[in-house]
Amino acid sequence: MPGPRPIYLDHAATTRPLPRVVEAVADAQERLFGNPSSAHALGGAARAALEDAREYLRGTLGAARVVFTSGGSEADALGIVGGAAARPPGRVLMAQSDHAAILRTEGLLSRFRHHTTALPVTEHGDLDPEVLFGALGSDVRAVALMHGHNELGTLSRLADLVELVRRAAPEAHVHVDLVQTYGKLPVTFDDCDVDSVAVSGHKFHGPRGIGFLALSSTARLLALQPAGGQEEGLRGGTENLPGAIGMQVAAEHVLSHQAATAVHTAALAERMFAAVREVLPEARRLGHPERRLPHILSLHLPGVVGQTLQLRCSARSVLFATGAACHGTPGESGGEPAKAPTNHVLAAIGLDRHAVREVVRLSFAAETTAAEADQAAAVLTEEITRLLQQAPRRRHDGKVRS
C-alpha cells in the first residue's frame, strides 16, 4: 500500500499544477494542435487562443508587450542580456545574492563586450540603495534587480532602486526578476518604472516549461534566439500554446485569491517558526524582518546540519529545501549527505561555512493546511531535538568534548 501523502513545503522551488490547469493544457493539446503560424483554420484558432492568453497576462502587469519563454531563467536572460545588447558596450549591474539565472548571464554579456559587476548586499540579501548609487554611472547599460528573493524571502526596495537608476543612468535597461512575487503580491508596471520583468508559470501552480518576459512600451531588446521570427522577432520557435493557456488559467486563479493566500501563508510561516523556536531558541529567521514574501521561511538552525535534517524529515514524508533548487541536491536519498555545494546567497549575506550548512528553507502555498503545518512542525522539531542530542558538545575553548 502507498504511504501517506507527503507534506510538501518546497513551493518556492515548484508548485503543484492546479487540476483546472492540467485540464486546460490537455484540452489545448488535443483541440488546438495547429501551429499558430499556419495560415489555415487550425492555425488561426491556435493563434487566437495564444493571443488571448498573451493579452490576459499582459493586463495582469499593465505591460505593453509579453514575450513567451520557456520559463523564468530564459526570461531573465532575454531581459538582461537582450536589454544590454541593444546598447553600446558598458557595465551591467546585479547583486551577489541574485538567482543563478541572473548571475550566469555574465558569459553571454561578455560576448557583447559588456562587463558585469555583482554588488555586495545587506545581511538580508538585498541591495542597499547607497551601494547601488555608488556603482551607477553613464556607462551602465543594464541593471538586474530581484523583487522577492527566492531563498531568503526578502523584498527589495524596488521603487527606491529604480529611481536611483533613472537618475544616474537614465539610458540603462532595468530588468526585474518577478518569479517569486508574481501571484503572491500585487506588482504592476504602474508601480515601478522598469523596462522588463520575468515570470515563471510553475511557481504559481501553472505548467512547467513556460514563462514570459513582460515589457514596457519603451523597452529596447536585441533578440537572442530569432529563429523563425515568432514573438515579434524576440524569441523564435513554435510557441508553447498549451503552456501559455495553462499559465493563463493559473494566473486567473492565484490573482483572484492573492490577498487571502498571502495572509494564509504568512501565518503558516510564523506558526512553523514559533514551533522551531520552542525547541531551539537560537534559531533565527533569515531575510528582512518586515520586507519579505509571505510564503518563504528561511531558517538558520545553529548546531543542526540542514541536509541531514532534510533527509530525516523526507524519510517521514515532510519535504523542504536547504536552498534554491538551482544549487543541486548532493547526496542520495537515505544516505548521508555529500559535501555541501557552495551557496553563494548565504555567503553573500555573511554566513560562515559552518552556518551555511545549518540553513533550511520551507515555503508554503494556499493548498498547505494548518493541520499539515502542525504535523510538519512536530516532525521537524522532533528531528531537530534528536540531532541536537546526538551532536558533539563543544567546550568553551571551542574543542569537541567526547
Active site positions, annotated? 326
CA distances from 308 to 114, 332, 333, 402 (A): 42, 11, 10, 21
Using the 8-state DSSP alphabet, how is residue 243 labeled? H
C-alpha cell belonging to residue 291 = 520586507
Whose cell is 531558541? That residue is 281
Using the 8-state DSSP alphabet, how is residue 31 labeled? H
C-alpha cell belonging to residue 249 = 488559467
Question: Residue 121 phi/psi, 5° resolution?
Answer: -120, 170
* List of residues 6+ apart from 10 with CB closer than 8 A: 319, 320, 321, 361, 362, 363
Question: Residue 328 phi/psi, 5° resolution?
Answer: 85, 170
d(CA 87, CA 296): 36
Q: Are the C-beta atoms of 201 and 89 separated by less than 8 Å?
A: no
Q: Are the C-beta atoms of 188 and 199 separated by less than 8 Å?
A: no
d(CA 240, CA 161): 34
Q: Are the C-beta atoms of 80 and 144 separated by less than 8 Å?
A: yes
Q: Are the C-beta atoms of 154 and 288 separated by less than 8 Å?
A: yes
d(CA 77, CA 225): 11
* List of residues 6+ apart from 9 with CB closer than 8 A: 318, 319, 320, 362, 363, 364, 368, 376
CA distances from 203 to 80, 234, 272, 393 (A): 20, 23, 22, 41
How many helices (H) and strands (E) the chain has is answered by 13, 14
